[in-house]
Amino acid sequence: MSDCIFCKIVAGEIPARKMYEDDEVLAFWDIAPQAPVHFLVIPKKHIAAPVDVLEEDDKVIGKLIRIGAGLAAENGVADGFRVIFNNGRKAGQEVFHIHLHILGGREKPWRM
């Protein structure tokens, strides 16, 4: 989507500190971290929110978790990290391109 900030990161139109990339998935550090380790894992396909996930997306959504867990381990927080999808403004979703937050590096890293 042309007006989506995360699609622009996927397209290389705005910069991000990328951690992992393949043909389906991109992971990058959150610009405003809420924990010592805080990064986002997104599908390259534009899906607005968890409520918009289709059956055909099941595999890539699972992949976000697998890639995120691997990156959490690579970044030293394998012993404890939080995995969050926000859905909707009321829940704090600000960017309407689905993204998995991974937060770790301190006790109970869940205050967003």
Site string for ligand 5GP, 40-79 (x = CB under 6 A): x---------------------------------------
**Complex with Zn ion: residue 8 or 105, whichever CB lies closer:** 8
Q: Does residue number 46 form part of the binding site for Zn ion (CB under 5 A)?
A: yes
- CA 15, CA 2: separation in Å to the nearest integer? 16
Distances (CA, A) of 67 to 20, 26, 91: 8, 9, 24
Please choose, from the candidates 93, 88, 96, 95, the residue with its C-alpha nearest in 3D space to the C-alpha of residue 112. Answer: 93
Q: Which of 62, 88, 92, 110 binds ligand 5GP (CB under 6 A)?
A: 92
Q: Does residue number 4 form part of the binding site for Zn ion (CB under 5 A)?
A: yes
Q: Which of 5, 53, 61, 69 binds ligand 5GP (CB under 6 A)?
A: 5
Copy the structure tokens of residue 22.
Answer: 């393949």
- CA 49, CA 36: separation in Å to the nearest integer? 25
Please choose, from the candidates 3, 56, 57, the residue with its C-alpha nearest in 3D space to the C-alpha of residue 25. Answer: 57
- Interface with ligand 5GP (CB under 6 A): 5, 16, 28-32, 40, 86, 92-95
Which are the catalytic amino acids? 99
- Interface with Zn ion (CB under 5 A): 1, 4, 6-7, 46, 97
